[in-house]
Amino acid sequence: MSAWKNAIIVAALAPTLSHAEGRAKVDVVSSSSTYEPGKCISSAIRMSYEDGWHGYWVNPGETGMKTEVTWKLPPGWTATPLQFPVPERSTGSEIHSYNYHGTILIPFTLQAPADAKGDAVIEGEVNWLACNENQCVSGNASIRLKLQPGTMLPTTEAVTIEKAIAALPQPSANHHLIRSFDNGQVTLRIDGPDLEKFAGASLFPVTEQALGPAYDWKLAIKDGACVVTGPANEYAEEQEQTSLELVVAGGKLSQPILLKWTKMK
């Protein structure tokens, strides 16, 4: 994007389909209305939930279903898996989950093959679940994006997509997650530099059925270590837990961090 700062902003986004059903409106947006063979295009599915309704993260929690897409792409084109932003933790009911409210962008990357030519029509079927305090409704929508060949020019959505991508959790090579299990309790410790930035940060487990969803997993600095101890998920068993992936967000962190623990053999 930095190379495009002085480029002409295209006023009209490439044609998309937008649907309002399942208590949400969904469409697809792209950072460019054109494509160049062999190059990537940052894109996103935009979900807008109705007031009072919410959708779900990649790990829904005790209930729910993550948003999924099935693509129909032109020959040679590829799309990366959806990249989910940091969710909100549901605390208002007996069922605990990881939610989204309002409008969110779920980024992904399209790549054109080296021999691409002519207009490219990107189609997909999006499936999701939206819930309120009383009920849940499944949603399904078709999305469509038409890209024309030519020098890439940013759309009016390009900056918004860039910001959404910048806010995604990123792996940290400087920090390490250590997990221990004792009598149904899980202790998580983070090692690495600048640990004070993690104080007060929240943990969101990407791995399902690993951590107790009702517990507020917040890191604290104790005796020079960055730790939190809480209940394991009721379905978690020590012998079956071989890995754990989680997102750390908040505190004084400038960006959410993705960490993974793997059990030593």
Confidence (pLDDT) at 241: 80
The domain of 14 spans 2-166
Question: Is there a single domain that holds both residue 141 and residue 185?
Answer: no
- Segment 174-202 mean pLDDT: 95
SS (H, E, C) the chain: CHHHCCCCCCCCCCCCCCEEECCEEEEEEECECEECCCCEEEEEEEEEECCCCEEEEEEEECCCCCCEEEEECCCCCEECCCCCCCCEECCCCCCCEEEECCEEEEEEEEECCCCCCCCEEEEEEEEEEEECCCCEEEEEEEEEEEEEECCCCECCCHHHHHHHHHCCCEECCCCEEEEEEECCEEEEEEECCCHHHHCCEEEEECCCCCECCCCCCECEEECCEEEEEEEECCCCCHHHCCEEEEEEEECCCCCCEEEEEECCC
Question: Is there a single domain that holds both residue 218 and residue 143?
Answer: no
Confidence (pLDDT) at 223: 84
Among 166, 199, 220, residue at a domain's last position? 166
Question: Is there a single domain that holds both residue 24 and residue 130?
Answer: yes
Banded pLDDT at 239 (limits 50, 70, 90): low
Question: Is there a single domain that holds both residue 17 and residue 48?
Answer: yes
Among 131, 166, 201, residue at a domain's last position? 166
- Segment 150-162 mean pLDDT: 96
Question: Is there a single domain that holds both residue 194 and residue 125?
Answer: no
pTM: 0.89
Confidence (pLDDT) at 224: 83
When divided into structural domains, the chain yields a total of 2
pLDDT of 10 strictly over 90: no
Here the CATH number for the domain that contains residue 216 is 2.60.40
Q: Looking at 12-21, 24-33, 81-90, 194-203, which range is the least confident one?
A: 12-21
Banded pLDDT at 237 (limits 50, 70, 90): confident
Question: Is there a single domain that holds both residue 44 and residue 153?
Answer: yes
Question: Is there a single domain that holds both residue 41 and residue 113?
Answer: yes
Confidence (pLDDT) at 64: 93
Higher pLDDT, 44 or 240: 44
Question: Is there a single domain that holds both residue 214 and residue 232?
Answer: yes
Higher pLDDT, 22 or 57: 57
Banded pLDDT at 264 (limits 50, 70, 90): confident
- Segment 119-146 mean pLDDT: 96
Confidence (pLDDT) at 19: 55
Banded pLDDT at 29 (limits 50, 70, 90): very high
